[in-house]
Every structure is written in C-alpha cells, then in structure tokens.
Structure 1
Amino acid sequence: MLAVSFCFFFWSTKVMAANKSKAQSSLVLHKVIMVGSGGVGKSALTLQFMYDEFVEDYEPTKADSYRKKVVLDGEEVQIDILDTAGQEDYAAIRDNYFRSGEGFLLVFSITEPESFSATSDFREQILRVKAEDDKIPLLLVGNKSDLEDRRQVSADEARTKADEWSVQYVETSAKTRANVDKVFFDLMREVRTKKMSENKEKNGKKSGKKKKCLKERCTLL
C-alpha cells in the first residue's frame, strides 16, 4: 500500500511539473537584449529587475541569459533577458546576439560621456543586423541617475539623441531601482505592439491570397 501511494505521489509530481512546464512554454516570450559599453550598469539593471537586489561590482566575462515570468498589462508573459558583456573582445559574436533579440535596451552611464557616444555605434550595429525590420523596439537608457553630482551627460543632450532616433529616453538607477521596471515593461510593450502588427499583416496577406485563389477558381469555372 505504501509503495502504491509513493508511486501515485511520484506520478502526480511528474504530471504537475509537466503541466507547469507546458503552461510556461505556452506563455508569450519577449526577448530583450542589454546593449552598451562595459561598466555602465547593464548587469546591475538586469539583476535588480530579476531579483530586486543591487550588485555594484559585477563584471561578466561572457553574456548571461535570464528568464522571468511577469504580468504585462494583466497578461502573464515571459521575458528573456540577454545581458551582453560589452567588452570589445566579444564584438565578433555580438551580431548573433542582436539577431536573436526582439527589443533592445541601449544603456550608457550619465557619468561617462564615452559610453554615451558609444550608443551611436551600438545602434548602427543593431540596425545593420536587423536590416529587414522597419521599426526596431529600442529604448535609450541613461543609468546611474543617483550619481547626479557626477553627471557629465545632460538629460537634454540624451533626449535630443533619442528624438533623432524616434525612441524613448529614460534615466534609471540600478542602485535605487528608479525606473528599472519601467524600462523593461515599456520595451516589452513596444515588442508586443510590433508582434501584433506583424501578425496582422501576415494574416492580411494570407487572407488576400485565399481570396485571390477563390477568384481564380471562379474564373476557371
């Protein structure tokens, strides 16, 4: 009797785990790529969003991937975040990362003008890799807003660049968590809008082909 009960418990656990895995796999997945120079706080932003904790000295030697289930405007979805290393040593494989991304957080530090200048190069790389996309979901993020006394990139300067690119500019602080959720959720909304637009266009083309096919059949008859 004990053996039967144990087997039933084991089977039930496996079924529950399988159902949970199936439910998660059926959720919409939004793929976000963290882009920017080394040391601007990409990892700190990611870890703050994922685990609600601030990690000040974290320098990845490679890209790290994270996945989290969140509620986006009342709908459960999954976000997949790829935190790229940022160092030049990994420029050769950066194209592969960009190709897999659906949305991009282009991060610089408001205390480092060089990292702000570098955002233009990163954006050019993204545009080159995603050349087939008309509108790429992207936010320009000025991190380390808690270091206002050390600011070297003005908000107006950053907004001007964001306006030129027709993207949103947001200042964040991984340390105080200011606007951390906002940038991830706003980007997911842009990704979702793009997907919906593409699906609508795809369904419209299918519908058009079907009507054309039916019309051709009628002509033949």
Structure 2
Amino acid sequence: MAKKAPSQPALHKVIMVGAGGVGKSALTLQFMYDEFVEDYEPTKADSYRKKVVLDGEEVQIDILDTAGQEDYAAIRDNYFRSGEGFLCVFSITEDDSFAATQEFRDQILRVKNDENIPFLLVGNKCDLESKRKVTLDMSQRRAAEWRVPYVETSAKTRANVDKVFFDLMREIRSRKLDEQKVSNGKGKDKSKRKKLKCCLL
C-alpha cells in the first residue's frame, strides 16, 4: 500500500468530574490500562491520551481526571472550558456524592453557557449493590431532568466502563458535526469571524 500521510485522528476531550472518592480515577485507569486500582490517591489532575476505534474510525481520547481538590474556581473553570464532554461520576453508595453532581452540573453549565453540552451522569460502584444508598429511580429522574443519559458502572468489574467513554465520544462527535454544519451553512458561530471561503463544487 502506498504510504499516504494519514490525517490526524479526531481528538475528543473528556473531563471527569465528581466528588472525591467516587472512582473517577479508577474508571479512567480501568479504561486506559485495563487495571483496577483500589486505593488511588490523586493529588492533582491527571491527563491521559489513548487511540481507540470509535465505530470503525480511529480517534484519540484525551481524558482529564480532575482530583476533586480543585478548590480554586479559576483552575476548575479552566478545566471545564477545555472539555468537550463530561462524565459526571458519583458513587451509588454515597448520598453526598450524588448531591454533589448538581453543583458540578451547575458549574459546567455556567462556564460553558450551553445546556446541550455532551454529558453523562455515571453511577459508579454498581458492584456494591448491597451498600446502595442512591436508588436507580433517583438517578434516572435526575438524568431525565437534565436530559442526559444515565449509566451505572463498576471500575472493579469493568461493567460499562468502555460504554460510558464511547457513548460520550459519540455525543462529542455528533456535536462537532452539528457545529460544522452550522459554520458551513450560516456561519452563525461568533467565534468563526473569519470569512468562510465559498467553493462551488
């Protein structure tokens, strides 16, 4: 085969948000390296990048795993600004972590100023069913209210781990395609002030 310089695979930027200890890092590391890390103590946000095949197309996923210690609003806002999609994680065994998802959602919407940002609500630790405090019904109601998908995962058993990352990438991808259509069509997007050259086909 003749070697053509391949175009760079599309890059999708995913941000993990959620209270401390809900398993954001465990999910990220399970997705990246197929390993379960029980006691991971993140002190800072970590960034990971991996090539994956999404519906037959090679893409790159860039995952920013926020550590939960982002008390500085400016730093947090910067993270949120850079993200194209969000996995908002709580633990089904902790009411507080579920309550915290509302605050994360509000902060993201404030920074993004966009109700339709690609976003999944993720109930982690579904292997601990006997310790469940957050019912499926509560979680699904909140997701319905926000008009976002809800998925339960277990970083330990790997249940739905790939699913949440791939589902979110699909949302990001379709969002980007919609934006391209808008900018190719009407050029409504304010950030694209440059004149769009028309080429007649």
**Are positions 1:33 and 2:33 aligned together?**
no
Secondary structure of residue in 1 paired with 2:51: strand
Identity, in percent, stands at: 77
Deviation at 1:135, TM superposition (A): 1.3
Is residue 2:166 matched to residue 1:185?
A: yes
**Alignment deviations for residues 155-181 of structure 1 (CA, whole Å, 9 cap, x no partner):** 110000000000000000000000000
- What are the equivalent positions in structure 2 for 1:60-99 lying under 5 Å apart? 60-87=42-69, 89-99=71-81
Aligned length: 188
Determine whether 1:114 maps to 2:99. no
The partner residue of 1:125 within 60, 84, 107 is 107
- Gapped runs of 5+ residues in structure 1? 1-18, 211-221
Task: Give, in angstroms, the shift of residue 86 of structure 1.
Answer: 0.8
Task: Choose 1 or 2 for highest CA Rg.
Answer: 1
For 1:167 and 1:135, the matched residues in 2 are separated by: 9
Measure, in 2, the Cα distance between the counterparts of 1:91 and 1:204. Answer: 36
Compared with structure 1, are the counterparts of its residues 88 and 79 closer, same or farther at alpha carbon in structure 2 (3 Å cutoff)?
closer
2:125 counterpart letter in structure 1: K
Instruction: Quote the Cα distance in structure 2 between the aligned partners of 1:91 and 1:148.
Output: 34
Unaligned segments of structure 2, at least 5 residues: 188-194, 197-201
Aligned AA (1:182): K
Q: Distance in 2 between matches of 1:151 and 1:130?
A: 32
Q: Which whole-Å CA distance do the structure 2 matches of 1:51 and 1:91 have between them?
A: 31
Q: Kindly report structure 1 stretches of 4+ aligned residues shifted beyond 3 Å.
A: 88-92
- Note the C-alpha offset of 1:89: 3.2
2:191 aligns with none
* Residue in 2 that maps onto 1:196: 177
Alignment partner, residue 121 of structure 2: 140
Partner of 1:100: 82
Q: Per-residue CA shift, 1:104-152, capped at 9, x if unaligned?
A: 0000000000000000000000000001x35100000000000001000
2:108, 2:49 → 1: CA distance? Answer: 22
Matched, 1:205 2:186: yes
> Measured at CA, do residues 134 and 110 of structure 1 come closer, stay the same or move farther in structure 2, by a change above 3 Å?
closer
Q: Aligned-pair distance for 1:90?
A: 4.5
Determine which structure has the larger helix proportion and give its number. 1
Q: Could you say what secondary structure the match of 1:96 adopts? A: helix
Q: Tell me the C-alpha RMSD between the 2 structures.
A: 2.0
Deviation at 1:29, TM superposition (A): 0.1
TM-score, normalised to structure 2's length?
A: 0.89
The SS at the match of 2:105 is: helix
Distance 2:145 2:184 in 1: 32
Match of 2:192 in 1: none
